[in-house]
Amino acid sequence: MNRNEFVIVSAVVLMLAFTLGWFANWLVHRFRRVSAADMGELERLAQSLHEAEETRDQAIIYLEQREAELTNQIAQTEAELRAAMEGLRDARHEAEEMRAYIERMHSNG
């Protein structure tokens, strides 16, 4: 291999290395580049996510308040039911006493 062939082969190898490096650089920038439209889309998505989180938090607060109200209503209803059952038990007991009294009066009279 003479000097001219060596220079030509070296030039071709260097040109190939430069071309591969440039292509690799172009690929990296191509994949890393974020356009203004992409940034706008990302901003819109971030805003939508933020609004959805706020809505979710409000829904959770509403459901917790509603659950507390319903729990309170259930407790009141159960207390009223216990009072009604106790009143019914007393009324039955009193009715039984009245029947017994009436039967005693009829048997004595």
- pLDDT by residue (tens digit) across 52-93? 999 999 999 999 999 999 999 999 999 999 999 999 999 999
DSSP 18-58: HHHHHHHHHHHHHHH---HHHHHHHHHHHHHHHHHHHHHHH
Q: What's residue 109's pLDDT?
A: 66
DSSP 47-58: HHHHHHHHHHHH
Task: Provide, rounded to the nearest whole percent, the portion of the chain with pLDDT above 70.
Answer: 98
Domain regions of the chain by residue span: 1-34, 42-109
Which pTM does this prediction carry?
0.52
